Amino acid sequence: MENGKIRVRFAPSPTGLLHVGNARTALYNWLFARRSEGTFILRIEDTDTERSHPRYEKQLMEDLRWLGLDWDEGPIEPGTKGPGKGEFGPYRQSNRLQIYTKYAAKLLAEEKAYRCFCSIEELEAERKALLEKQLPQIYSGRCRHLSAKVLKRNVAAGLPFSIRLKIGEEPLRFQDMVRGPVEFQAEAVSDPILVRSGTEMEPGMPVYNYVVTVDDALMAITHVIRGDDHISNTPKQVAIYEAFGWPVPMFAHLSTILGADRERLSKRHGATSIATFREMGYLPEALVNYLALLGWGAEDGKTETFTLPELIQAFALERVTPSPAIFDFDKLNWLNRHYIKIASPVRLAALAWEYFGGLLPEKDDASDAVLVWFVRVVELFVPSVDHLGQLTAKALFLFGFDPDVARSKPENAEVLAADSARTVLGELANRVRAHSQPVTAEVFKRWMEEIKQATGIKGTELYHPIRIAITGSHSGPDFDKLIPVIEQGATLRVGVPSIRERVERFVGV
């Protein structure tokens, strides 16, 4: 540990969108670094050249920034080849291939690794033979003891070879901060491949377990915090650390995230990528808060809402549980509603504008009056949504609706079939006909009282038909808040029909 300072890393592969499991890993690393005043490093593992793409790297950087997870060291923007920010770069594995070649040669020179000339066909035949005998399917190590003469002849002939690490006889042990001490028997690990098949002139591509260990060691990583799907990789990495004589870091393997059906979380459970949650209108503080609770809890066992600074102060790896975490969309929605409730209406309106594309002018072209009106629209409807993406459906009637479609809805048709409905709508039409000014909340309230007194109709029989005529539905926001929003929208000419226009279309005036 460099000067006693904690150094952690988040090392994603840019082969797809950042999903919640990796985002939680990034968050826990970030919180651990910030809590200990350590260093949080972003490293891009892009040696899978066929699947890696700069657009995914750019997206994951944007997602991390959106979540508020900044990094102290890491690559510069995608598509660049510079070493990046920090003294331990480059921070992309594709820019570190010479480093891996150098250290593989060191292991070969020290006879801690060896060239394996076995072909894919030979290895597969060996595997099948072991399978038939119901024995562990591990490499026999037959190239481990090739004579110097055979080795020299094979290399001179240009035969392709992989590079394997020599595993000793002692068990491979490591300390897991979540699971405690872990041990693997050496024979279960076999001699792992470090570099895939290649030649002296054209070396093969180094494998994950090798490059991640070299990178972690050279970047002075003190704690490796990652998903529990890497537990089986860890003994191989420990063996590599020991072969080089490098200190072994502390490990913390985070539990798997499951869906409600207790199967590994996947797209079939719903949204799983950070980009999708962003598109749906979840607030970053809600998502961060929820991800933190997936496998970790506050010391008091009760507190569930945290700001980022509060999370930093409260977070401890010792409170991370090894039990699988269940992704509960209801809990996430509850948290998002909480943060929507305390968020600035102006901020929410700015975030929600994009969901009204085609209904509103371009934001940069909108007048101040329209912007202020839209804040009122958002304030009116956010109490009834789980995420901002639902606002459009809730507020769509403001921009008009088809009266025939509204009448045909079974729940509306039942209301409108009553004689009382025709009576109150007729009374409303009379008042609209006699009123030439925009309708205020006070005027509308007086009308409702007048209709009630004139007809003796009250309650839902009075309000539901009128609400259907104005909104297309028998439920919605209170009239005293809704009427001013409708009339102001009509005045601003943003495609919102006035109360008069709505009644004319629905009843006929």
Q: Where are the alpha helices (DSSP H) in 266-387?
A: 274-280, 284-292, 308-314, 329-342, 345-352, 368-381
Q: Where are the alpha helices (DSSP H) in 84-219?
A: 97-109, 120-132, 148-156, 186-189, 208-218
Specify the DSSP element, H or E, that contains 173: strand 172-176
74 strand-pairing partners: 85
CB 46 within 8 A of CB 8: no
The residue count for the chain: 509
DSSP letters, 220-267, are T--EEEEEGGGGGGHHHHHHHHHHHTPPPPEEEEEPPEE-TTSSBP-G
Query: In whole angstroms, what is the distance from residue 91 CA to residue 44 CA?
Result: 6
Angle in degrees, 0-180, between the axes of helices 329-342 and 284-292, rounded to the nearest 10: 140
Residue carrying the six token digits 């944007």: 62
Give the three-class secondary structure for 182.
strand
173 strand-pairing partners: 183
Pairing relationship of beta strands 39-42 and 113-116 according to DSSP bridges: unpaired
452 included as an active-site residue: no
Residue 124 phi, psi (nearest 5): -70, -40
- Proportion of the chain in helix, strand, coil states, percent, rounded to 5: 55, 10, 35
DSSP letters, 29-88, are HHHHHHHTT-EEEE-B----TTT--HHHHHHHHHHHHHHT---SBB--STT--S--BSTT
- Catalytic residue from among 128, 267, 445, 481: 267
Query: In whole angstroms, what is the distance from residue 317 CA to residue 260 CA?
Result: 25
Catalytically active residues are 267
